[in-house]
Amino acid sequence: MKEKILSMIERVKRKNAILFLVCLCVSFVGWFVLKSKEDFEVEVHIPIRLVDIPRFVYSVRGLTAEVDVVISDKGENLISIGEDHTYDTLELSYSSLEEVKSNAVLNSSELRDFVKKRLPASSKIVSIIPSTLEFPFTRNAPKIVDVKFVASYSPKRNHSLSGEVEYSPKRIKLIGIPEVLDTITALYTERASFIELEDTLRTTLRLIQPEGTFADIKRVNVMIPIEELTQKKFVLPITMRNVPEGYRMTVFPSSADVTCVLCLGSYTKMDSSYLKVVADYRNMDTANNKKVIPLIVEKVEKDFKFSVNLLQKNVDYVLEKQLNEE
């Protein structure tokens, strides 16, 4: 009997819970409908891009702007506005602007009309910031200037630069008023420092632009190639040079141990043909009654990056006069 009573109580609880949820949903829908009929104010962001620019007219500050607009409308009409409250970019024809000295201007009433046409018909504009749009311009041709990379960098221990530092673009088109452009020969990247690099770095650096100038390119792509160092050893024959005519020179030992320090990625490319060990008779050292010749390592492949450590610095030599055979 007790179990039946408990089971009945559980069924009643479940029915009440369902009824409560239904009532809650109905209440929410009713509240939402009432609220959607009320007026609300919301701020939206509207990007604007200048188009149809006449030939030989160059913008000094760029072709885009953004206005913050506070609009008033019923909630049901504002639902379509995205979560970030940003509209798609609107295109503004240059012919709509008035040229005032070195500015192309859209005054407050024209800006309000331009924005109003893009909003829902029921929306009312409460405020617009900025109240007018100004695009500074010049009719002077752009100037091509060099881009300079000025950041500093250093590899980690047992690592090295494996090639040339690359950056792009190397030159850009700069727009500005003549008195400013005439003083500019190059644009420089921001100063940055990259230390303890153990792998190739790819990054972008901000391009510093003087006041009164404009360039479409704002950042410079930079690549600093870094690789781990390794060693490769060779035993190379010693080549003799500038031996006096009529003499034969013999050096002891006749070969030298050479250790090359190079980047890991170049290990398989490196072979003994890339360098030569030379004993030049003209460099012989006779100090302290010694008869030795210092060894020189010459790089045959000039563009290949590596350093050389020569275990033996000097060699002994014997100079013998050659006999003429009749």
Q: How many CA atoms lie within 13 A of 146 on its CB side?
A: 5
Grouping H, G, I as helix, E, B as strand and the rest as coil, residue 177 is: coil
Q: Residues 307-316: pLDDT tens digits?
A: 899 988 899 8
Q: Residues 266-314: pLDDT tens digits?
A: 999 899 999 999 999 988 876 666 778 999 999 887 777 888 999 888 9
The domain defined by 39-138 folds into RNA Polymerase Alpha Subunit; Chain A, domain 2 (2.170.120)
| Whole-Å CA distances, 60 to 56, 64, 66, 180, 210 | 12, 11, 16, 11, 11
Q: How far apart are CA 284 and CA 287, in angstroms?
A: 9
**Is the pLDDT assigned to residue 242 strictly greater than 50?**
yes
> pLDDT-based confidence at 33, cuts 50/70/90?
very low
**Is the pLDDT assigned to residue 54 strictly greater than 70?**
yes
> pLDDT-based confidence at 35, cuts 50/70/90?
very low
Global pTM reads 0.63
* The two domains 39-138 and 143-224 share their CATH topology (first three levels equal): yes
**Is the pLDDT assigned to residue 220 strictly greater than 60?**
yes
Q: How far apart are CA 154 and CA 149, in angstroms?
A: 15
DSSP, residue by residue, 99-117: EETTEEEE-HHHHHHHHHT
Tokens of 213: 């100038």
The domain defined by 143-224 folds into RNA Polymerase Alpha Subunit; Chain A, domain 2 (2.170.120)
220 or 245, which is more confident: 220
CATH, domain 229-321, list 2.170.120.30, 3.40.50.800, 3.40.50.20, 1.10.10.200 = 2.170.120.30
CB 83 within 8 A of CB 45: no
133-142 CB burial, b ≥16 within 10 A, e <16? bbbbbbeeeb
Where in the chain are the domains? 39-138, 143-224, 229-321
Mean pLDDT of 219-235: 95
